[in-house]
Amino acid sequence: MSQGPSTILVTGAAGLIGSAVAKRLHERGARVVAADDFSLGTWKDEQPNLIWEPLDVAEADFSARLASHRIEAVVHCAAHPGGKSLQEPSANVRVNALGSMRLFEWCARAKVPVVYLSSSAVYGEQPAAPIAEQAPLKPGTIYAACKVACEQFLRILEAGYGLRWTVLRLFATYGSGHRPSAHQGIVNVMLTQLLAGDRLIVRGSLERVRDLVYVDDAAQAIVACLFNEATRGQILNVGTGVPVTIRELIAALCETLGKRLSDVEVTEAEPTVGDPHYSVADVSALARAGVVARIGLREGLERLVHERKERLAVA
């Protein structure tokens, strides 16, 4: 794929990460085919060279609708959320495994490279040290198991068809673009509750450690890897490498919202099945590819809270 304008399919383009990627590609001069079924995502801008395709990648006939676009590359962001995978396991597998395979098969047959968004969830429970890409995979959720399967699908299709791929394992991503939710995105879940009042239910220990990456930094990494042929056949962590406990996250959110932490009733509930205690990225491989996260937690939360309050004021 050239460095100039080209036609790129972005799945899940109405969601948090997909919308940020679509915007960045459009700004770069690419023609973007934005695909989404709008079951979760809400963004839908109307711009020249931004073509919307309302489709479900798990449907058997979706590829026929792509033929006329002459797509040169794919960024696969669409996913059924990990937070609902135990409650809706069949739906999770349908979208995250079957839907991804349908898309990968189309890419393999059409000789179109794909950047696939995997997840830090594939690592599961690990020792409390930055997690490198070579760490053993210990998926503890249906969602994570689907991500592991998809990574293997890509390797097999590479061997059989010559498919060119890049896998990006995103750590906990947050930012403008998430619909308020009780099950999608740890920062989003906390913020949704805190905007509703002064009671916060936390699934699991407050001492859990996370790597929180702002969505614009994630999008920067995705686009950089899309246009970097040297990342083909590579698996790269996307994160900040900065550990943040859930307790610290709550304190930072309260400060950003102007709430006193002492006024917030925090309840630790039963942990989510498969949710690891420690999840922080070793980002040295991504840095060698020329990508470094630039937005710190304080700035990221300020951006998110500003956007969320603006949205609530309009609603």
- Same domain membership, residue 126 and residue 163: yes
Number of domains the chain contains? 2
- How far is it, in rounded angstroms, from Cα 106 to Cα 254? 46
- Same domain membership, residue 192 and residue 106: no
Contact (Cβ atoms closer than 8 angstroms) between residue 198 and residue 261: no
Summarised one tens digit per residue, pLDDT across range 186-195 is 999 999 999 9
- Same domain membership, residue 22 and residue 157: yes
- Same domain membership, residue 221 and residue 130: yes
Q: Do the domain assignments include residue 285?
A: no
Summarised one tens digit per residue, pLDDT across range 162-183 is 999 999 999 999 998 777 887 7
- pTM score above 0.85: yes
- Same domain membership, residue 230 and residue 182: no
Mean pLDDT of 94-112: 96
- Same domain membership, residue 262 and residue 113: no
Check residue 74 and give left, alpha or beta (phi > 0: left; psi -120 to 50: alpha): beta
- Same domain membership, residue 188 and residue 143: no
Summarised one tens digit per residue, pLDDT across range 59-98 is 988 888 888 899 999 999 999 999 889 999 999 999 999 9
- Same domain membership, residue 182 and residue 100: no
Mean pLDDT of 231-240: 98
Q: Do the domain assignments include residue 287?
A: no
- How far is it, in rounded angstroms, from Cα 200 to Cα 190? 7
Q: Residue 177's pLDDT is what?
A: 78
- Same domain membership, residue 168 and residue 218: yes
Q: What is the CATH number of the domain that holds 267?
A: 3.90.25.10
Question: Could you list the residue range(s) of the whole structural domain that residue 254 is in?
Answer: 175-210+243-279+295-314
Mean pLDDT of 279-296: 97
- Same domain membership, residue 253 and residue 104: no
- Share the mean pLDDT of the chain: 94
- Same domain membership, residue 114 and residue 232: yes
Residue with tokens 């491989």: 285
| Six token digits for residue 128 | 């409390």
pLDDT higher than 50, residue 2: no
